[in-house]
Structure 1
Amino acid sequence: MSQNILPADKATDPATAGGKAASLARLQQEGFDVPAFFVLLPQAVAEAQDDKQARRRLNREVKQAAAEIGPGPYAVRSSGRAEDGVEHSHAGQFLTELNVTAPRVLTAAETVYASGFTGPVETYRALKSSGGAEAPAIVIQQMIPARAAGVAFSADPVSGARESAVISATTGLGDKLVDGTVDGEDWTITADGTAAITPDAPEAITEAEALQIATLARRAEETFGSPQDIEWAITGTGEDARLILLQSRPITTQLRAPARPDPALTVFDNSNIVESYPGLVSPLTYSFASYSYNRVYRAFVALLGVQEAQIAANGAVFENLLARVDGRVYYNLGNWYRALAMLPGFAMNRAHMETMMGVDTPLPEELTASIGPPPPTNRRAKWAEYARMLRVGFGLLRQALRLRRTKAGFMTRLQDALTQGPDLSTANLTELAATYRRIEGELLDQWDAPLVNDFLCMMGFGASRKLLVKWAGEAGAEFHNDLMIGQGDIVSAEPAQRIAALAALVREADLADALQSGGLPAMEGHPEIAAAFDAYLEKFGDRCTEELKLESIPLTEDPSQLTAAILAGARRPPSEKDAHPAPNWRALLRNPLKRAVAKPICHWARNRVRDRENLRFERTRIFGQARRVFLAMGRELAALGHINTPRDVLNLTVGELLAAAEGGGLTHSLRALIALRAEEMAHAATRPDPDERLELRGAPLIRPSAQTTKPEDAGQSTDILRIATGCSAGQCTAKARVIRDPRSESLTPGDILVARNTDPGWIAVFANASAIVVERGSLLSHSAIVARELGIPCVVGLKGATDWIPDGAQIAVDGAAGTVEILP
């Protein structure tokens, strides 16, 4: 090309080619899809105005350059040295000519050139204090036959939010959108890919295209190192669609100051806790759970001999054992490891803790390297560590020997806390707050029996399993699972047994149809059935679906789930599950010395598993009492006119609720606070659950746009066969019933239950299932323990099971091998 024209690859200097051309050249070099262009230098246009021969020569050069970049029509744009700059964009001040044919390119360039000296541009420069008139270079760019076009900002120029990209789109060319002739449609794309549109119905682009445009804007921001304002166009449809970047310039409006780099890693995981707190969790539930974990585990490490000064220094660890991500509860894994690291022997106990918590993937080495004391490097440090281990070991042994007495004391305090105190139905706000404080002081601060047993269970279960696997290989692992079956006194299995007994009574009395049509009054005249039903509610009335969530409705208020389970069992022909044979130790371990060592260890671990499950039922009763106290406080606040309904307290925290009763409140408008939380919960309900493991960089401000997730690993699988963790031996072939909410869905007796996660409140569904397949969980999950107790096959940890297995499909489950197969 001549000295009057710069090809795209030479237009990199804004001092010569102008800001717009230099940006386009940079984008082209970085691999962006940019329309072909060249640059007409301003001095050439100036010379041609006064010299006809020079103009004819320049016209030939321009036509040749246009032909080289491709057939027309063309877009002719200005490219001033200050245009599209960091401080001043000059957006819309220069003239742009579109759909220009090849013979008219020079004429259009002269018009655009002249626009650089007009009144509007001079006024803009004066307002921005950007100097006097300056001749612009001219960009001649191939026109794009756009199906849709528009502008996009990699950060929100109105709110200043850097995490949100904003898009304006219209059909056809984007010039009418840029000059304000049409409104188009507006999209907001958050960092996690959530798209919102105004108006509601997209016409110009699809959501997928909006996400691509947002990505394009963010790529431009990465290229130039600052938030960008881009123009884009889309041609074609389907596989032929092409997203093209027309220009990019810095956003010159004031944005929020960028956050300082923060590489700190935080890992959240809900593999196990999702059983207790599935799905959305109210602020009241989360705050009560988080506060309980804080108080309980502080007391636990003190019980094992950790010095009070060390506990106090790690206050933030205990305060943040849990996290709430988009309304869902997670473990903050790093803090659990830090808490465990206060005890000697961290490396060994870490593996047991991961098994107990159902954690498939250990923490990244980057994080674990900073947790716990460094390994002792000299003799004195080693002996000090041994002394610590010995001290905690003796403390643990003392607690193990006293466990029966500790449990008795705990049960006495529990019973007193649940039965003593004022009548909740008539208590005032002050009395109700005092009742909660008593639960806090007498139980949460003295949660000794469950904690000691849980820790012993963690160690015993892990050590006994490791021992059997070491001595008997895979057969030892299967034997270990079977050994947990048929203990007979696990309270978690009792509801299913009672439901089966009630179903038998209803079947014998031929009462099923009457019970279904007439409800509970149909039990009148059948005192044995009515008494058994009332006895169930008396003992297990707090055991409902999502029972640890304070917002859940207990069976005492709505027994419909229980009635449905009884009816389903009553219509099922009487049957007996195969009894599991007694464990054959001799067949597993022929060495009598090994048997003598393994049997008592496994028997002890088995008792700890049983006690762990039974003591968790007592936790259900405490949460049930807390629910009643908090809702009674809501009743009083509503009566005083501070809130609208008693259940509004679910959108407050425990601290806020107590402050309202005890005089420490920071706001006089509880209604406004409740409305804000309700709105946040409503928005969170529209989004799918985040992944079970989240890894975040920097301070983990909990909002959807802050999430960074890892895709779930489907494990060993084919299209029809997948392998996960077998928890309860047995084989079953039957129809799959995919259930997401047992309160509104049920299964036919004999179906195989397929669920994302379960909790103890699912027992009414368990009672009629022939096998269980769960996406989440571990060997010590509630679903695994109850399945072993009920003697039905169970597979847990099968990622994506509810999406992979069609509802109603015939499947085969092997609870020992951990296989699930979809049959033709």
Structure 2
Amino acid sequence: MTLIVHQSDATDPTVVGGKAAALSNLARFGFNPPAFFVITESAFRPGKTGPVAVRGLNVSLGAALDALGPGPYAVRSSGRAEDGAEHSHAGQFDTVLNVSGGRVLQAAKQVWQSGFSETVATYRAVKSGGGAEAPSIIVQRMIDATAAGVAFSADPVTGQRNTVVVSAVKGLGDALVSGEVDGEDWTIDPAGQAECAQASPEVLTPDQAHKIAALARKAEQAFGVPQDIEWAFDADGLHILQARPITTELRPAALKDDRLTIFDNSNIVESYPGMVSPLTYSFALHVYSRVYRAFVQLLGVSDSAVAQNATIFDNLLGRIDGRVYYNLVNWYNALALLPGFSLNRDYMETMMGVSEPMPREITDAIGPAPAKGARKVVEYAKLATVAGGLVWQAVRLPRTRRNFYARLNDVLGRNLDINAANATDLAAEYRHIESTLLDRWDAPLINDFLCMIAFGASRNLLHKWLGEDGLLLHNDVMIGQGDIVSAEPAQRIARMGGLVRDAGIADQLGAECRIETLAAFPSIAAEVQSYLDKFGDRCTEELKLESIPLRDDPSSLLMAVAASAARPEGKRHIGNEPDWKTQFPANPLKRQLSKWIVGWAKARVRDRENLRFERTRIFGHARRVFLGIGREFSARGLLSEPRDVFHLTTHEVLGAVEGFSLSPNLKAIVAQRQSEDEAASRRLDPPERIEIRGPAIAPIWAQNAEVDNDPERVKTGTGCSAGHVTAQARVIRDPRTEALQPGDILVARHTDPGWIAVFSNAAAIVVERGSLLSHSAIVARELGIPCVVGLKGATQWIKDGETLSVDGASGKVERCDGA
């Protein structure tokens, strides 16, 4: 007869019971539970006054305790049906804690006798049936717990898998397990977010909750089914005490789904940084769908092919934790439709502008194989047809542009008084914007593509024929165009700054930032109003509909004017026509070709910037229309306030007016999204790239790791505006809440026209993203200050407040402190 079983041999639940077999398996799987041995149920027999130890138990028990080590011990049950997959018997048998070596035999008798209690008999009658029987008994070394409790690797209440539920108490967990006290409850979701039900956790830290969740998931992986574990923290760390299958019914496990979706924001974050409202996201989703349908059709993709791949174009973007991302797989699918894709996959991939290549799993499965033989000839013929079409579009571009401006002026010149228009009229106005401009985005689309080709070709040509001097000449011609609308704000702010300086009110205007400050200076007030009439739709993050434009809050403009007044008048860049005869004295053919292609590229750059300004005006008009609808919804009690409209999608807004909405409870939709976005805004930005398999509704990612200090002293970006400055660096992430002191070097991840107030104080500009045609490059040239763009990781590499040296010609940036 076996009386004592060592933990390594306690594998048969029919001998040692379910709980002991589970503990033995935990040890075999490397979990290292507290050491134990098992007293089998046959070690006792019923007596008149209680259990009686069979012959030889005392000797065997003494030897087992010596081998186990000093107490105190936990003495608990391990019935054959206990901790099974169907019934756990949790809390039905007795458990005795903090037992000394001399009292283990008495405690074991108590646990053995509990198998015949009325509570166990009732439980079996209800749950499992069968007669009463004694359990085996586990004798286990005690943990001197600082905190203990239970954890479920799946939520036993909701049945949700991959959600860990933890309950914790200070000290030992026996009172929690028995139901005598309530624990501190935590939930750890599949994304790794730990949330405590109590407002002020007192038992666990979020890090400890994550460790417990990882332990529960590891136990589930080891046993193959969701687990209910008991755990404890002591001075040595976290320990698992027990593990049993969760016996409540859970939701069925999801079927395997390996479809890969890749979200990447390495490019689009320049247009839509940070949190983006549902209205802006849905608006952008529609615009991207319409524009890129037209783009591939322009490049020779048939209407039928576009229609067959409608899902690709309707899903070019994703919104992850409130941030906008490209859906890269769909972008790659769209590129694969283009003629010539099979001839040069690698080049076309670079058109996506992302920082990491696509995985082979995607690239190998999409698009035709590399063209060979006769098919290669066919592909080149298709490319020739596309090239011919582009030439025709280039010839027709002036007419296309005139027609676009005519439609634009038709939309913006309508006599609709938004403040007096009802919801029906406002929805009709948006539909007019949509059909007249957003769905017919031809001039900006064609010009942008021709600009990309002309800019690259002219730059490469001058570099080939004139070397590095050719690149400098190209920069000077392309960026230093005074007739680019992007340069006009800097020019006008400088002029207004001069007027403010002459009036002696720079300090007052900078301190107050109110239009009323200019009441006694009508000429300055008129200049400011003229600026707002033309540029009133510009603002920080101007492509977001929820952004507040200058016409509604001109404080950043007034700050820029005051800053301009306080700084010495800069040397404005004036672009001069190159002396082509000097550049090519002996080759008139090269001279004429260079002059023509540079001039044509310059015109495309100018039109590109000017058309982007018109985009700002269109978006500004759409913003006012949606705010008008929000006003009407608020007046009718559908929304609490007009700006709540930004928490709805365009489909929901228009559906509420036109009659195809699904829910009349817009307030509830807004409240849910406000809550979700508020929580998302408190979290760190998701990583630049996220990969997910299966449904892409709830991506999971690891939090960004802390970036190690980069010891490099010198890095080089793209020089855009000549000059050399050494000054204090100021890292600015949000120009609405952070200020730049005059003479500081601005360091930013990206910029847009709303940064003009910051630019006006900058001695130099360093930007992580961007190109020679970026807004920051154009404005820097107008202000006459050095500028370097494309310095990847600049906001992590450069420390706020350190001394920086910037060479705007070479693109070299040097950290000077500690050198």
| TM-score, length basis structure 2 | 0.91
CA gap 1:44/1:266 in 2 versus in 1, 3 angstroms: same
Matching residue of 1:181? 180
Letter in structure 2 aligned against 1:437: R
Matching residue of 1:310? 305
Matches within 5 A, 1:329-728: 329-346=324-341, 358-379=353-374, 381-461=375-455, 484-516=478-510, 519-576=514-571, 604-702=600-698, 706-709=699-702, 711=704, 718-719=710-711, 721=713, 723=715, 725-728=717-720
Question: What SS does the aligned partner of 2:149 have?
Answer: strand
Matching residue of 2:267? 272
State the percentage of identical aligned residues.
58
Letter in structure 2 aligned against 1:301: V
Matching residue of 1:747? 740
Question: What SS does the aligned partner of 1:266 have?
Answer: strand
Question: What SS does the aligned partner of 1:446 have?
Answer: coil
Preserved contact between residue 563 and residue 742 of structure 2 (Cα < 8 Å) = yes
Matching residue of 1:16? 15
Q: How far 1:540 sits from its partner (Å)?
A: 0.8
Question: What SS does the aligned partner of 2:102 have?
Answer: helix
- Distance in 1 separating the partners of 2:584 and 2:222: 65
Question: What SS does the aligned partner of 2:34 have?
Answer: coil
Mean alpha-carbon deviation: is it higher for 615-624 or for 271-280? 271-280
Letter in structure 1 aligned against 2:247: T
Preserved contact between residue 345 and residue 389 of structure 1 (Cα < 8 Å) = yes
Matching residue of 1:326? 321
Letter in structure 2 aligned against 1:162: R
- Distance in 1 separating the partners of 2:227 and 2:409: 64
Question: What SS does the aligned partner of 1:138 have?
Answer: strand
Q: How far 1:555 sits from its partner (Å)?
A: 0.7
Question: What SS does the aligned partner of 1:557 have?
Answer: coil
Question: What SS does the aligned partner of 1:296 have?
Answer: helix
Q: How far 1:48 sits from its partner (Å)?
A: 10
- Distance in 2 separating the partners of 1:761 and 1:34: 60
Letter in structure 2 aligned against 1:718: D
Matching residue of 1:127? 126
Matching residue of 1:200? 199
Mean alpha-carbon deviation: is it higher for 659-668 or for 601-610? 601-610
The superposition leaves residues 482-519 of structure 1 with CA deviations (integer Å, 9 ceiling, x where unpaired) of 66432333322322222222112211221213434663
Mean alpha-carbon deviation: is it higher for 723-732 or for 464-473? 464-473
Mean alpha-carbon deviation: is it higher for 321-330 or for 632-641? 632-641
Matching residue of 1:735? 728
Question: What SS does the aligned partner of 2:131 have?
Answer: coil
Matches within 5 A, 1:15-34: 15-34=14-33
Preserved contact between residue 495 and residue 764 of structure 1 (Cα < 8 Å) = no
CA gap 1:791/1:473 in 2 versus in 1, 3 angstroms: same
- Distance in 1 separating the partners of 2:379 and 2:400: 28
Q: How far 1:707 sits from its partner (Å)?
A: 2.2
Matching residue of 2:144? 145
> Does 2:806 correspond to 1:813?
yes
- Distance in 1 separating the partners of 2:277 and 2:51: 78
Q: How far 1:448 sits from its partner (Å)?
A: 0.6
- Distance in 2 separating the partners of 1:119 and 1:747: 77
Preserved contact between residue 550 and residue 627 of structure 1 (Cα < 8 Å) = yes
Mean alpha-carbon deviation: is it higher for 53-62 or for 18-27? 53-62
Letter in structure 1 aligned against 2:746: L
> Does 2:222 correspond to 1:223?
yes
Matching residue of 1:154? 153
- Distance in 1 separating the partners of 2:372 and 2:43: 77
Question: What SS does the aligned partner of 1:811 have?
Answer: strand
Q: How far 1:74 sits from its partner (Å)?
A: 1.2
Preserved contact between residue 352 and residue 458 of structure 1 (Cα < 8 Å) = no
- Distance in 2 separating the partners of 1:349 and 1:710: 36
RMSD: 3.3
CA gap 1:798/1:92 in 2 versus in 1, 3 angstroms: farther
The superposition leaves residues 744-796 of structure 1 with CA deviations (integer Å, 9 ceiling, x where unpaired) of 22211221122343322112212321223334555655445544665544445
- Distance in 2 separating the partners of 1:269 and 1:442: 31
Letter in structure 1 aligned against 2:402: A
Preserved contact between residue 340 and residue 382 of structure 2 (Cα < 8 Å) = no
CA gap 1:551/1:763 in 2 versus in 1, 3 angstroms: same
Tell me the matched-pair count.
814
CA gap 1:605/1:61 in 2 versus in 1, 3 angstroms: farther
Q: How far 1:307 sits from its partner (Å)?
A: 1.3
Mean alpha-carbon deviation: is it higher for 42-51 or for 512-521? 42-51
Gaps of 5+ in 1: none
Matching residue of 1:67? 66
CA gap 1:513/1:786 in 2 versus in 1, 3 angstroms: closer
Q: How far 1:442 sits from its partner (Å)?
A: 0.9
Question: What SS does the aligned partner of 1:556 have?
Answer: coil
Greater RCO structure (CA 8 Å; 6+ sep):
1
- Distance in 2 separating the partners of 1:171 and 1:466: 70
Preserved contact between residue 458 and residue 594 of structure 2 (Cα < 8 Å) = yes
Question: What SS does the aligned partner of 2:116 have?
Answer: coil
Q: How far 1:577 sits from its partner (Å)?
A: 5.9
Preserved contact between residue 450 and residue 612 of structure 1 (Cα < 8 Å) = yes
Q: How far 1:91 sits from its partner (Å)?
A: 1.3
Mean alpha-carbon deviation: is it higher for 350-359 or for 583-592? 583-592
Preserved contact between residue 727 and residue 788 of structure 1 (Cα < 8 Å) = no
Preserved contact between residue 352 and residue 459 of structure 1 (Cα < 8 Å) = no
What is the aligned counterpart of 2:285 among 256, 267, 290?
A: 290
Question: What SS does the aligned partner of 2:56 have?
Answer: helix
CA gap 1:82/1:430 in 2 versus in 1, 3 angstroms: same
